[in-house]
Structure 1
Amino acid sequence: MTSSQAEQAPAAMIDRVSSLLGVFDGSRRLTLAQISRRSSLPRSSAHRILQRLVELGWVERHGFEYGLGLRIFELGSLVVRGDGIRRVAGPFMQDLHMRTGLTVHLSVLLDADILHVERAGGRPDDGDCWQVGARQPAPHTAAGRVLLAGLDPAERPRGELPPPSTAYGLRSREQLERELDKIREFGVAFDAHGAAVGLASLATAVGPTERASAALSITGPAGVLKQERLGGDLQGTAARIWAAAKAARSGTRPSRPAVRGRAEAPQRA
């Protein structure tokens, strides 16, 4: 092996590990065959890397299936704790969940996707796309559109929109631009049936829209979640999270939501 080849070998291995770990995005557990196919790695190579990752705690094996290990989540929690908004958001999100009975997400923009980093309440359905750590195409979610609305046009992901998840999703850049204009005017994004049939989401930016790093959203049955009924509550919660994050950065003691019992859930329309 030449010196140049020796230098390239570690980089190639890192690329393989990255490809392998990336297949778990939005999924719980996968078989070796699924991992090999999704990562485009030979089955023998995938198996060898997985075995080492299991030994290191990065991956866990459950029978014939593999999932992300505790070490991954430990490192992820360090990142979450390092962000001011995510560090203070939990109590406010739990309070909003208790008052509305709806699922509350804190999400950030990651390339052309939205990444869910915190959640209060159970998933709105059984889909893995709603769990913490899962990604969804930003144009097809209320949280994603809120954060896209705050970007300059040159900063937004280019190219064609990803295929919509349902027949109700956005299908053109023109539709997306109209939605972003409405978000900049009203401060909230509403999506009904676009991410999943039967579900609706309402989202707003945490902090000024034009420089927000996170979006707060509530998700639940489309017949229950009404924008006019819950928009003010959602925006008020986002404002309190932002104020607490600023207080934490300045070293002052942030306020916390009062502990309250669960209010009556919104009635179905």
Structure 2
Amino acid sequence: MPTSHDDAAPTAMLNRVASLLEVFSARQALTLAEITRYSNVPRSSAHRILQGLVQLGWIERQGAGYALGLKMFELGCQALQQRKVPEAALPVMADLHRRTGLTAHLSVLAGTHVLHVERFGIWPTNGDRWKVGFKQPAAQSAAGRALLAQMDEAAWPELQYAVAAGIRNRAELDRNLAAVRARGGVAVDADGYERGLTVVAAPISGGDEGKGFALSLCGPSRSTRIEPVVAAVHSASWAISHSLSDVPRHSASQARAAHRVVTPAMILRTSEATVAAVGGR
């Protein structure tokens, strides 16, 4: 008969693997020394486990360091694809990008950061922080603050404050979140997280499916007109939330008899003049 002692070794190993993987949640490439320090796993054990994870494709070597491998990203994407939010968001994001010329992101709260899971648009092209699969600190990003503003503070993750540009302390965060709430839940980050870049984000609701997701648009600060972008993002996030809700469960004929059915495309068309003004056209 198996004993608790028999189960202890596998459990301890799983805990060490989890500790090693978790150190990458807010970082990219790390050296063995850094991984050992952050995870508190002995160096010899960490090296042995990392070698096994490299063989599995969960971790990859980058020069003298280690980083999350494509296999981890693939598994994460598969998990997200099983949810309804990306499916509901993609057509709205594509239309929003086409109409405004700005880059649309779908992001989800992942611990202390927001993780980009979908993107329409190729700008900005410098750096990795705006690519799918990469993270930004929740308190420093527009998407993160849009989500924090609607959350109970008791549910907040541990937040990271900036040393220079960005949100530097709790008082600044509170003032920013007050402005987010006054704007109907839409967060604006102009030259904060990254100089020359303006990002506008709004949370997605729609029950448990939409919990923790945010939609955002980003563009060059010199040409992005904030108020039209706020209107566009607010309408688009509402459209996604509406499609995730339980409202359209009646038959089409019943819905038309009760009221005109509202679709994401219709919602975006109603503000076409506003959205077109985003790029100054």
What is the identity, as a one-letter code, of the residue corresponding to 1:178?
Answer: R
Most deviating of 108-117 and 85-94:
108-117
Amino acid at match of 2:201: A
Q: Partners in 2 of 1:113 and 1:199 — Cα distance?
A: 19
Aligned to 1:189: 187
Measure, in 1, the Cα distance between the counterparts of 2:5 and 2:129. Answer: 40
Measure, in 2, the Cα distance between the counterparts of 1:50 and 1:112: 24
Give the Cα separation in 1 of the matches to 2:21 and 2:152.
Answer: 32
Other-structure match for 2:100 = 100
Is residue 69 of structure 1 aligned with residue 53 of structure 2? no
CA–CA distance in 2 between the matches of 1:179 and 1:199? 17
Unaligned runs of 5+ in 2: 253-261, 267-275
Q: Secondary structure at the match of 1:119?
A: strand
DSSP-derived class of the 1:129 partner: coil
Deviations 1:113-137 (CA, angstroms, capped at 9, x unpaired):
3232222223625333323333322
The Cα shift of 1:80 comes to 0.8
Relative to structure 1, the CA distance from residue 5 to residue 248 in structure 2 (aligned partners, 3 Å threshold; closer, same or farther) is farther
Alignment match, 2:221: 222
1:250-269 matched pairs, under 5 angstroms? 250=249, 257=265, 266=279
CA–CA distance in 1 between the matches of 2:233 and 2:80?
22
- AA aligned opposite 2:176: E
TM-score normalised per structure 1 = 0.77
The 1-side partners of 2:75 and 2:69 are apart by: 11
Structure of larger gyration radius = 2
Q: Deviations over 1:12-57 (max 9, x none)?
A: 2122212222343355555545544554444432332122223333
Number of residues of Structure 1 aligned to a counterpart in Structure 2: 259
Match of 1:176 among 173, 178, 181: 173
What runs of 5+ residues in structure 1 fail to find an aligned partner?
Answer: none
Deviations 1:178-199 (A, max 9, x none): 2222222222111122212222
1:1-269 mapped onto 2 (5 Å cutoff): 6-25=6-25, 29-30=29-30, 32=32, 35-61=35-61, 66-122=66-122, 124-157=124-157, 162-164=160-162, 166-167=164-165, 169-187=166-184, 188-207=186-205, 212-246=211-245, 250=249, 257=265, 266=279
Tell me if structure 1 keeps the 8 A contact 2:109–2:138.
yes
Deviations 1:215-239 (A, max 9, x none): 1111222222221121211122212
Shift of residue 151, structure 1, vs aligned partner: 1.7
DSSP 3-state at the match of 1:128: coil
Name the structure, 1 or 2, with higher relative contact order (CA <8 Å, separation 6+): 1
Contact 1:26 1:131 in 2 (8 A): no
CA distance in 2 between partners of 1:113 and 1:75 (Å): 19
**Residue 96 (structure 1) shift:** 1.9
Deviations 1:233-262 (A, max 9, x none): 11222122223333799598996759xxxx
- Contact persistence 2:203–2:214 (CA under 8 A): yes
Percent identity between the two aligned chains: 44
CA distance in 1, matches of 2:61, 2:251: 45
TM-score by length of 2: 0.74
Computed over aligned residues only, the root mean square deviation of the Cα atoms, in angstroms, reads 3.6
Contact 2:113 2:136 in 1 (8 A): yes
Q: Deviations over 1:163-222 (max 9, x none)?
A: 21642x22332332222222222221111222122222111122379x853111112222
Distance 2:229 2:248 in 1: 29
